Amino acid sequence: MKKIISLLLIGLLVISMTACGGKEENNTIIVYDGQFSEMQIIHYMVKLLVEEKTDLTVEIKDEMAPVNLFSELTGGTSDLMNSYDGTLLTTYLHLDPSEVPEDTTLYDFVNEKGREMEGVMLLDKLGINNTYAIAVPQDIADEYSLNTISDLAAVADQLVFGAEHDFFTEEGSAKYNPFVEFYGLEFKEGKQIDINLKYSAVESGNIDVTVVYATDGLNRQAGLKILEDDRQFFPEYNGALLVKEDFFEKYKDSAPNLEEVLAMMANIFTDEDMVNLTYQVDVEGSSVADVSKEYLQEKGLID
């Protein structure tokens, strides 16, 4: 009899533990953080909004490179990430902007393909177009009369191009080799440098030309001039949250208003807003938490 009672107690304990585990899983949104302040700000804003307006907890874990973030999302170990329609198109789905039909926006096209190929979907646009941009120090622009990327063709052999390792990979069509081939550029040297050293390399004169993100506040600090992408090599990079197709279904019991809450971030930014926010973090030393909270309060989205 004691043996039977013991087995029953063990069974009840297992059921209880399983139930608790399932409950915990459906009450915590897992987000792996990005390596850039823009992604970190957006992820923290998600945390603030969701935790104030639902019963869910948002756990932000270690920073990862974008390709690894996408792998964690599609692999089911994370639930949400900030992304961009251009990144989803070229880097994650390995498609080319030329494949987007003329009567379809890049955002709509890649959202459809994302569902078909990887079971992921973009939520509403956040309002920013953080596209790649080619930049030079203002004194270089003045010396060589540089206004467009095409202007580089005549003087590229005198200039050193430098960028983070990710821009030199073959993960996607909007990277270094396709870029220089498209514009017919033969730089004096192409340097791969640590992303954390890129701006100091520009300011010290170790590199003359680099690739930046259009909404990066460090562009302002470094006094960089953005060259016009006159032949439109780089696609749009409209920011949007990226989730699995079953994301809202997963949390429908614990947070039936989750879709409505995340929709509050639709068009929440302008490009200039994001430049200011990343400048506060990267240049002025403000914390991601403080900057995110203050912005959402200014917008009247949290108390």
Enter the CATH code of domain 132-227: 3.40.190.120
Contacts of 96 (CB under 8 A, 6+ apart): 89, 90, 173
pTM: 0.78
Helices 288-298 + 271-282 axis angle, to 10: 150
Same fold, 27-130+237-298 and 132-227: yes
**18-60 residue pLDDT tens:** 444 444 458 999 999 998 899 999 999 999 999 999 999 999 9
Mean pLDDT estimate for the chain: 90
Q: Report pLDDT digits (tens) over 189-213.
A: 999 998 888 999 999 999 999 999 8
Would you kindly state where each structural domain of the chain is located, as residue ranges?
27-130+237-298, 132-227
Domain 27-130+237-298 CATH class label: alpha beta
What is the maximum span of the chain, computed from C-alpha positions, in angstroms?
93
Residues of the chain with pLDDT under 70: 1-25, 172
Give phi and psi for 186, each to the nearest 5: -125, 90
Cα–Cα distance between 12 and 72 in angstroms, integer? 33
What Rg do the C-alpha atoms of the chain give, in angstroms? 23
Q: How far apart are CA 68 and CA 83, in angstroms?
A: 12
Helix axes 37-53, 271-282, angle to 10 degrees: 100
Distance CA 163, CA 135 (A): 11
242 and 121 in contact (C-beta within 8 Å)? yes
